[in-house]
Amino acid sequence: MSDVVLQTRGLSMAFGGLKVFNGLEFALQRGERHAVIGPNGAGKSTFVAVVTGLLSPTAGKVFLDGRDVTRTSARDRVKAGIVRTFQINTLFASLTPLESVLIALSQRDGVARPSLRPLKSLKPQIEEADALLHKFGLADDATALTQALPYGKQRLLEVVLAFALRPRVLLLDEPAAGLSTHQGQELFEQLATLTDGTTMLFVEHDMNIVFRYAQRVSVLAGGSVLATGTPEEIRSHDGVKGAYLGH
């Protein structure tokens, strides 16, 4: 089996006469943490939206483990293992973390909504939900209302919900948005430890986080992939320094 899990070939996206990117060639290696960076307006979030099926490209193809998923719906891509979080919090504020994770697991396993089934019939999902919350350090908050959680824990809960779907590729769109520098680093420290071995693609503006936690980095600029490499290679890339890093 190829080490490439997610790949794009000739991927282009335009909104009317506005070209966001053109002919993107991208490959995500199995098990790596890969960051996508670039100046504002470079198309990073649009790229994630196309890869996850929320937007259809104007040209090109998206492959998951060699299978063409370009015209597959966002829902079917989740089932296939492409799972994402969003830049803006999308949690159910009036539910508890335990309820939210239980719903995610029930949907994953194709069982009816928890409110429509006796709890004893959902024992495997309840046990797994409890284990996930323990793993990510949210067990003490399992029965608190989500809206009452500190924002950092809410962002972590989003990752738990995505992780509950057993992703083959986990995509995080600015997971540290709205967090302080310390909180963002703390979140990524947890992610690096707890999701080790999970193929992860993330968009992030904080270069300290990117260079500390990414194993490879791709830079979007001028409608294309300007460079891909290790953090050290990207730091020293003359074109990247001129176009984005500013030194």
Q: What is the pLDDT of residue 41?
A: 85
User: Which domains does the chain possess?
Assistant: 4-89+166-245 (3.40.50.300)
Q: What is the pLDDT of residue 127?
A: 92
**What is the Cα–Cα distance from 193 to 75, expressed in whole angstroms?**
28
Q: What is the pLDDT of residue 217?
A: 96
Sheet holding 33-37, edge to edge: 82-85, 169-173, 200-203, 33-37, 216-221, 224-229
Q: What is the pLDDT of residue 1?
A: 45
pLDDT tens for the chain, residues 1 to 247: 469 999 999 999 999 889 999 999 999 999 999 999 998 888 998 999 999 999 999 999 999 999 999 999 999 999 999 998 876 566 888 999 999 999 889 888 887 655 545 555 688 899 999 999 998 999 999 999 999 999 889 988 998 998 888 899 999 988 888 888 888 888 888 888 887 788 999 999 889 999 999 999 999 988 889 999 999 999 988 888 776 665 5
Q: What is the pLDDT of residue 107?
A: 85
**Residue 66 identity (one-letter amino acid):** G
Q: Each residue of 14-30: b (16+ CB within 10 Å) or e?
A: eeeeeebbbebebbbeb
C-alpha triplet 129, 64, 161: angle, nearest 5°: 15
- Alpha helical stretches, state H, 15-122: 44-51, 74-80, 97-109
Q: What is the pLDDT of residue 247?
A: 53
pLDDT tens readout for residues 80-103: 999 988 765 668 889 999 999 998
Task: Please choose, from the candidates 19, 193, 10, 161, the residue with its C-alpha nearest in 3D space to the C-alpha of residue 90.
Answer: 161
Q: What is the pLDDT of residue 246?
A: 58
